Chains A and B, each alone.
Chain A
Amino acid sequence: MKSKRLITLLLLSLLITPTLLLLYANQSQAQSLSISINPALTHLQITPPGQTTAPLTLENNTDEQLDIKIILKPFHPVGENGAIEYNNQNQTEEKYKKLFSKIIITDNQTPTTSLIIQPRQKRNLKINININHDEKDADYYFSIIFLTNNQLKAENLTRTNIPTQQFKSFQSNPQIQDLDPASKNQKNYSLINAGIAANILLSIGSKHPNGNIQEFSTSPYVNSGPVNFTLRMKNTGNHLYKPTGMILITNMFGQTIGRVDIKPENILAGSIRSLTQIPTLTSTAAKYQELPLDHILWNENFLLGLYTASLTIALSEKGPIYKQSITFFAFPLYALIITILLIVITIYLIIRIKYYIKYIK
């Protein structure tokens, strides 16, 4: 009799456990979001009158359908490391409003401002920009933001005197239904919206880069490597440029003993950017992660003597080229102190011994 009960209990637990696990899994999936965009950054150039298109792929990595609206938002660079800041929400400049009227995002050749992406679906979109002949030479920097559409529901829900019908629709939201029934009556929630942005750098008109080296420096004296170089480039023109260049390090005998390649980065019109380096082949992934965002590292540990670092940087494939050299002196300070101490002690000992010998004589 007891054994029958045990078998029944065992069978029941075998049935209930996977069911609970499945329910729990569904719940956790319903409350998360994963979305990818490719490419994250696009640089487009148009000579007016003209048009251009660029591909953009959006991928829903979750098992839930995503309801998305598309927003265009201008930004400006902030700091000197490639970070951005959106222009004030209610102050989209007139020139951007005019530009945005000429941008159409198409999904399968159909213009769209919102999307529904099925679970695990990848959507290939196109950005179409059509510029008239009277458009002035200028750069425009903006993000295309794909924002989940929970906001609309939330706006409706949080209005005063919310109609009962709308509240019922809120309660019938499958994500809300997944929540603890005890707390469902309390209705104290923050709904989370998530957006992902692709940045567009648009240059209209002829492109001739203008800029200069704002700063190329290093510490004049170093104990040992690696040596930090600061390289800040300024864009004084109307269009962005992406410089390429390198730093060659020569020792006091004129031998080139090191080379650091500058990582090409976009320097937006009217801004300054601190440049970094291309990771070397000898760098491990871990070392690459440690590379700073605001200066250049010459990864040489043992240094002795006077060195010259020569920077050569081209603002574009057609120039102009800038060159600048700096010198720095390297000597291991601890070795220097120990050497001096040893010399002093040796001299002192010699004096003492000589004096002692003289005294004995």
Chain B
Amino acid sequence: MKKQKYICTILILLYIFIPPSSHAEIKQEENMSIEIEDINLNSGLPTATPKQKPSPLNNNTTEIPIPQPEFNQTFTFNISNLIIDYGIISATNSIYRSNNLSLSGRINNAQINLYQDHPPTSFESNIPIPDTTCDNGSCSQTTAALWENTLTYGFGYRCENITGNTCPQDFNNKNYYRQLSDTSKNEPPQTIITNKQNLNNIQTQIIYKINTSKTQPDSNYINTITYIATPGY
């Protein structure tokens, strides 16, 4: 009998301390009211004026904040190495080159888009170094994949974060590469850097890789890669 009393006491205590699920209910749409009216921003909305803990922005007012102009509206784009010199290209000898990109100023939601006019192409024979398909043939302009096999040929790039985490996530894996979007094939530019973390300054390194087969003719290969830095809205 006494045991039962103790069990009852424990159950009552548990009932008191464990929050019932009904407390966690979100008030749904019926609580939303839409009022179309003239608003005086200084009239104080809402009217709740109980004893207040100091609020973080404004201690005494509950007025809707009046938007302030943004002070820093300057948007700056820096890029190093305007010519990526691959030097002498020889078969199965992977060549790596890099340049750095950075954004500063008003860079909320800013991004950098990338495209090429075509893959590096011989202007004597019009033969290109094709876009890489990576080791298992799965990489594209939008998906990175592993490329470390010296018998996988082509041209590709990878993005490496210097500050923050601004490159696409599929570059988080080492030796993962993508193809560059090719405007000669109507492929849309790809966003390679986005300010997901609301950083004040973004710095990123782009690594280009070329690996050719023995059948690739000795020639002069050139292309143009374009980066466009765009602020958000």
Which residues on A are within 8 Å of B, measured CB to CB? 31-41, 61, 75, 77, 81-86, 88-90, 141, 143, 145, 147-148, 150-151, 154-155, 157-160, 162, 167, 175-176, 179-180, 182-183, 186-199, 201, 212-213, 217-218, 220-221, 242, 244-246, 248, 250, 254-262, 264, 266, 268, 278, 280-283, 285, 288-293, 299, 306, 310, 312, 314, 317-329, 331, 336, 339-340, 343-344, 347, 351
Contact = CB atoms under 8 A, between A and B. Distances in A.
A242 B85 CA distance: 47
A157 B222 CA distance: 8
Contact of B38 (A183, A283, A319): A319
What are the nearest 9 A-B pairs in CB distance? A220-B24, A187-B220, A280-B56, A154-B224, A82-B109, A40-B75, A39-B73, A40-B231, A82-B232
Contacts of A261: 57, 65
B51 to A, nearest CB: 6
Contact of B222 (A187, A250, A282): A187
B24 A192 contact: no
Most chain B CB within a 10 A radius of its CB, from A82, A213, A266:
A82
Interface of B: 6, 9-10, 13-14, 17-19, 23-27, 31-39, 41, 45-46, 48-53, 55-58, 62, 64-67, 73-89, 97, 99, 105-106, 108-109, 111, 113, 116-118, 120-121, 123-126, 183, 186, 188-189, 191, 194-200, 208, 210, 220-233
A251 B173 CA distance: 46
Given A34-B78, A155-B224, A325-B27, A188 B233 contact: no
B46 A289 contact: no
A141 B41 CA distance: 29
A320 B35 contact: yes
A196 B228 contact: yes
20 contacts: A31-B81, A35-B76, A35-B77, A36-B75, A38-B73, A75-B230, A154-B223, A179-B85, A187-B221, A190-B84, A190-B97, A190-B225, A244-B67, A254-B50, A256-B50, A261-B57, A320-B37, A321-B35, A321-B37, A340-B13
B233 A82 contact: yes
Contact of A89 (B58, B183, B195, B233): B183
B6 A320 contact: no
A265 B26 CA distance: 26
Given A36-B105, A282-B56, A196 B51 contact: no
Contacts of B88: 182-183, 186, 188
B89 A188 contact: yes
A192 B48 contact: no
A320 B36 contact: yes
A319 B39 contact: yes
Contact of A191 (B58, B121, B225): B225
Contacts of B36: 319-320
Contact of A83 (B58, B116, B232): B232
Nearest to B31: A325
Given A32-B81, A77-B233, A254-B50, A293 B183 contact: no
